[in-house]
Amino acid sequence: MSPYIMKIVKNKFSLVLCIILGQDINVKFKNGDTLNVKSSQYYHLLCVLGALTYATRFSINSKNSIEIQNDLMNRFVIQFDPLSTEDGNLLELLYWGPKYGANFISNNEDIANFRDKTFKIYTNDNERIIENREGIKFFLRYIQTNNTITETFIRSLHHVNSKINFKDKIVIDVGAECGDTPLYFASKGARVYAFEPIKEHFEAMEKNLSLNKELSELIIPVNAAVGKDELLTFYRDNSVDIGTSASFVYNKHGPDARKSQVQGVSLNTILKNYKIDKVDLLKMDCKGCEFFLSDNALTHVDRIKIEYVARGKYKIENLLKQLKDSGFKCTMYRDSDSKNSSNIAGYLYGTRVNE
């Protein structure tokens, strides 16, 4: 937060002190505008400071309404207090998007010939929608901005190899959240089996799929957890926001964790139930469920991409050994702002080696 404070905030020392003490503050900007910020809004204050630093113009009125222009042409208005889910997501987009090279159009014009990282945000039937250059749409209120838009469609986190042709290929998407990765792979021509255990995420995925009629015909959404053939207890925080972290393997939320029961299913059972002989890509982002893959199921997988979390008895070296013994040649890499060692969290991409 400090670089943004130095650039645009006038009462920077008071702001830093209030952050340390956890107090509300009236932020004063160098252009003379002010913004009333509650201590519970510090994350969104970071987004405000970042978005305003990147902006070509901005203004804040006495009702805590923020107007932002990033390019001197497109104008976005955000009501900061009270901050709705839609406005909160838009604010995050106007921070994270430009940070990674995206630009946003504030109307429903045709952007097919614009640059890849162009998105338009418009209103339809009183719902704000964000759409990328390829025509993939999401309800603004049913996304997790740093994952749905930033990672998938701006940073291209799931683009692993330009030589892969996904046309008519089978993708099993474990941890499909609000539908961003299923829609991404479907847009490449794949048939996607999209597994999402968290009820709020699954419902958001169904809503977003409804905006993408043609692509949704290639996606089979399943409200279930991948890992074991039994009822699983998920540990999560008390947030109902899209993107809340949840796992049946680890409880990082302690004794106050919110628990929910979710039907689990093993990869073996998925292959049997859906009569799948070959999985062209198994994508996993499931907070530990990658350690429950069976050797037998892996024989049906051609490529695997895992955002792994390795804690306690679950070691990354053990997962690497299993994949190697199952015929995969793997690479490990990092593609996030995580401060964790790669022993704890990171990415694996493996391809089956033809002997």
pLDDT per residue of the chain (355 residues) written in tens, 0 to 9: 667 888 899 999 999 999 999 999 999 999 999 999 999 999 999 999 999 999 999 999 999 999 999 999 999 999 999 999 999 999 999 999 999 999 999 999 999 999 999 999 999 999 999 999 999 999 999 998 888 999 999 999 999 888 999 999 999 999 999 999 999 999 999 999 999 999 999 999 999 999 999 999 999 999 999 999 999 999 988 777 787 788 999 998 888 899 999 999 999 999 999 999 999 999 999 999 999 999 999 999 999 999 999 989 999 999 999 999 999 999 999 887 777 888 999 999 999 987 5
Please choose, from the candidates 145, 144, 139, the residue with its C-alpha nearest in 3D space to the C-alpha of residue 102.
145
Contacts of 61 (CB under 8 A, 6+ apart): 67
Q: Is residue 68 within 8 Å of residue 55, measured between CB atoms?
A: yes
Contacts of 40 (CB under 8 A, 6+ apart): none
The fraction of the chain above a pLDDT of 70, given in percent, is 99
DSSP-assigned beta bridge partners for residue 118? 103
- In angstroms, how far apart are the furthest CA atoms of the chain? 69
Give the burial class of 257: count Cβ atoms within 10 A of its Cβ; 0-12 exposed, 13-18 middle, 19 or more buried: middle
- pLDDT, position 2: 67
- pLDDT, position 4: 82
pTM, full prediction: 0.93
b/e sequence 163-186, b meaning 16+ C-beta within 10 Å = eeebeebbbbbbbbbbbbbbbbbb
In 222-274, which ranges are continuous DSSP H helix? 267-273
Task: Sketch the domain layout of the chain as residue ranges.
Answer: 2-151, 157-352
- pLDDT, position 1: 61
Q: Could you name the CATH architecture of 157-352?
A: 3-Layer(aba) Sandwich (3.40)
- pLDDT, position 202: 96
Give the burial class of 300: count Cβ atoms within 10 A of its Cβ; 0-12 exposed, 13-18 middle, 19 or more buried: middle
- pLDDT, position 353: 87
**End-to-end alpha-carbon separation of the chain, Å?**
51
Give the burial class of 252: count Cβ atoms within 10 A of its Cβ; 0-12 exposed, 13-18 middle, 19 or more buried: middle
User: Mean pLDDT of all residues in the chain?
Assistant: 93
Helices 85-99, 42-54: crossing angle, 10 deg rounding? 50
Q: Is residue 172 within 8 Å of residue 279, measured between CB atoms?
A: yes
